[in-house]
Chain A
Amino acid sequence: MQPAASIAGAPSVALIPRASLRWRSRLEAAAMPIMAVLVAMVLFGSFCASQGRNPLAVFGAINKAAFGSWYSFQNTLIRAAPLMLTALCTALPARLGLVVIGNEGALVIGGLTATAAGLAVQSAPVLVVLTAMALAGMVGGGLWITFVGILYYKRGVNETISSLLLNYVAIAFLNHLVNGPMRDPSSLNKPSSYPIPDDKMLPAIGESNIHYGLVFGMVVCLIAWVLMEHTSFGFKVRMIGGNIRAARMAGLPVAAIGLIICFLAGAAAGLAGMIEVAAVHGRANESLAAGYGYAGILVAFVARHRGLAIMLVSVMLGGILASGGILQRQFQLPDATILVFQGLVFITILFSDSLYGKLKFFKEEAA
């Protein structure tokens, strides 16, 4: 275990002797989110029952739509890919003790810069186009969140508020560009940029419908996990998150590390934007702001900001998002039902934060 970021609410375990292996607190870290999700499912089930739907049937339908067949599981994975990346936009700064929620904005900006780069080199070989798009997306998104970091470290501007405001600015930028300078005149109903040529798009993996974005997401999550848990840089980040004054006393360049993390966080979300353009939409338009950024915040908190857990939670939430359609068709439940469920999960997860160290079973025996 590591000194947990204060915002995650995880208990400080520094006082427990290392020798005891601490399996109970490890179990606690895994069991609490699972229990919280179970409680949220019970609450959501009661909600469905109060709306005259059989909760078991609703859960069955969600399960079937998300994981029931190879086809539906592919749909789930396609949705999980951007979630893994946008979740990192919240998860990485969280380890520093910052609450950054500019995921949606960084995704949109990354999508825009990726589109611009892709269009600029569209006649180049496909690998060049995709590399240019990925790099541009990461740099665009990265700088966007770095700006949040600069405001925080130089001016003391609250990072949550500024990152959130920048989401709206990013969406305004998107609307301005696809209605003006970048607009393809042939896109009438839904103003869009010129399209990336079909043969330059991010392809599907083998015979499946799943595009390579999923690989990007998993690889980036793995990198984030190694970086945060197994490098000295990650240790410094966690130290700053644990006790910023101690970190300053130890001579850590707090602001520099913070800005690097902000850049990486934004770059991950920017890459998600690139994937959405290069693998799904083929062009930049308002579909970019489809809420993957906001859902990523939830993923990060449920996964307690850990890289490996983010992959798992993204697949779960991807499945829930994929089941929105079937709830509407089969049960006449509006799209927002999924949002209610997400809200309930978030609330119970936070509630469980306050129970860490309170439940007797998870208490380590004093050694």
Chain B
Amino acid sequence: MTSDSIGWWGVVIGVLAGAIRGGTPFLLVSLGECLTEKSGKINLGLEGVLLMGAMSAYAISYKTGSPWIGAGAAALAGGVLGMLHALLVLRPKVNDIAAGIAILIFGSGIAFYFGKPFIQPSAPQLPGIQLGGWSSLGQIKAALTISPLFIFGVAVAFLMQWFFRTTRWGMHVRAVGDSPAAARAMGISPTRTRFFSIVAGSALGGLGGAHLSLFYPGAWTESISSGQGLMAVALVIFARWNPTQCLWASLLFGGAQAIGPSLQAVGISAGYYLWNASPYILTLVVMILTCSTKRTLTGAPGALGANA
């Protein structure tokens, strides 16, 4: 089947497929960022984490022959980089944003350095989960071949929602994010809680990288993340620090990313390069519409970004 014969449906299916495939890294990094920000810290370094995750997943998958070990390595690498970020931002007078940029530069440097020999060879990929068996259309089958990490991300989204709402630890994270002083009075250590939130969030971000290099686009290149880790910060604002809304937001962003290529696939290449900017423009528009100088946003942690 060619895309001509289904015409404009090709675009719709393309965007849908992109929403799931391209949305998975958004989902994982935004969940990671959500966890971190709920504890009151911002991690702009997730872009570096994503690159580290992508590189280590690919390299380890190539070396061991198992993409699953690769994904584990990505989470580990993300966690280690997160630890470095935590050590920085949990010190007094260190600005979260600046530390994030430092981690971004360092993380991408390390990823490019050790990733150089792995640009050529091809590593075993994560197996896709086929949900499109009912359709005879090739495009639909391809669109519904879903990354196991997407399933994992969806599960984490609902789990994290439950975690924040009902568990004791979830409440600790929220308390620390809203008022470190009050949390300390309750006997919760803000430093320890934030440390774990940042490290766990970065491990999730690392898994997002594993999806990039081991599923879609499915190769390790230095331009693989193209700012997705940075957009996580905007996505979390859009999702109002709510894990399940991170899921919907990620799907939206993944879809927006796929508009340009899908249009090109049906022969419309006008403005191809401009469509590439659509996720970024969408993020900006969302922020312009939802932010305000007058009030803080609902769901925003009270002490977000403040230096405690």
Binding site for B on A (CB under 8 A): 7, 9, 99, 101, 151, 153-158, 160-162, 164-169, 172-173, 175-176, 179-180, 294, 297-298, 301, 334-344, 346-347, 349-351, 353-354, 356
Could you tell me which residues of chain B, from 202 to 250, have a CB within 8 Å of some CB in chain A? Answer: 226-227, 230-231, 233-234, 237
Residues of B within 8 A of A354 (CB): 91-94
List 21 A-B pairs, Cβ < 8 Å. A99-B98, A151-B284, A151-B288, A153-B293, A156-B293, A158-B291, A167-B227, A172-B273, A176-B272, A176-B273, A334-B112, A334-B113, A336-B116, A339-B106, A343-B102, A343-B103, A343-B107, A346-B102, A347-B88, A347-B102, A350-B88
Pairwise interchain contact B102-A350, C-beta atoms closer than 8 A: yes
From A164, A175, A336, A356, give the contact of B273 (CB < 8 A). Answer: A175
Number of A-B residue pairs with CB-CB distance less than 8 Å in the complex they form: 149
Point out the residues of chain B lying under 8 angstroms from A344, CB to CB.
106
Q: Does B99 contact A (CB under 8 A)?
A: yes
CA–CA, A176 and B116, complex, Å: 29
How far, in angstroms, from A335 to B226 measured CA to CA in the complex? Answer: 19
Chain B residues numbered 111-139 whose CB sits less than 8 Å from any CB in chain A: 111-113, 116
The answer to the question of B108 belonging to the interface, with a C-beta cut-off of 8 Å to chain A, is: yes
Footprint of A on B, CB under 8 Å?
44, 84, 88, 91-95, 97-99, 101-103, 105-113, 116, 226-227, 230-231, 233-234, 237, 271-274, 276-277, 280-281, 283-284, 287-288, 291-294
Q: Which of A298, A341, A346 neighbours the largest number of chain B CB atoms within 10 Å of its CB? A: A346
Identity of the chain A residue whose Cβ is nearest the Cβ of B271 in the assembled complex: A176
Enumerate chain B residues within 8 angstroms of A164, measured Cβ to Cβ: 227, 230
CA distance A176 to B273 in the complex (A): 5
Additional pairs, 13, CB under 8 Å, beyond known A347-B99, A350-B98 = A151-B284, A157-B284, A164-B230, A165-B234, A172-B276, A175-B273, A335-B112, A336-B116, A340-B110, A346-B98, A346-B101, A347-B84, A349-B102
Complex: A318 Cα to B210 Cα, angstroms: 34
Q: Write out the residue numbers on chain A whose beta carbons fall within 8 Å of the beta carbon of B106.
A: 339-340, 342-344, 346-347
- Name which residue of chain A comes closest to B297, CB basis: A156
Set of chain A residues within 8 Å of B272, measured between Cβ atoms: 176, 179
Q: Which residues of the other chain, B, contact A175 by a CB distance below 8 angstroms?
A: 273, 276
Query: Is there contact, CB below 8 Å, between A342 and B293?
Result: no
Residues A162 and B113 in contact, CB atoms below 8 Å apart: no
Secondary structure call for the B interface? helix
Judging by beta carbons under 8 Å apart, are B112 and A9 in contact?
A: no
Report Cα–Cα, A350/B234, bound state, in Å: 24
A154 near B293 with CB under 8 A, answer yes
Instruction: Kindly list chain B residues whose C-beta atoms are within 8 Å of the C-beta of A156.
Output: 291-294
- Cβ 8 A contact of B95, one of A9, A155, A180, A297: A9
**What's the Cα separation between A346 and B231 when bound, in Å?**
22
- Taken together as a complex, chains A and B put the C-alpha atoms of A294 and B47 apart, in Å, by 14
Residues of the A chain whose Cβ atoms lie less than 8 Å from the Cβ of B110: 336, 340, 343
Partner among A157, A294, A347 whose Cβ is within 8 Å of the Cβ of B288: A157
B107 contacts A165, CB within 8 Å?
no
Least distance between B246 CB and chain A CB atoms (Å): 16
Let me know if A294 and B105 touch, CB within 8 A. Answer: yes
Within the complex, what minimum Cβ distance (angstroms) separates B281 from chain A?
6
Complex A-B, nearest 5 residue pairs according to Cβ-Cβ distance, in ascending order: A343-B106, A339-B109, A336-B112, A172-B277, A346-B102
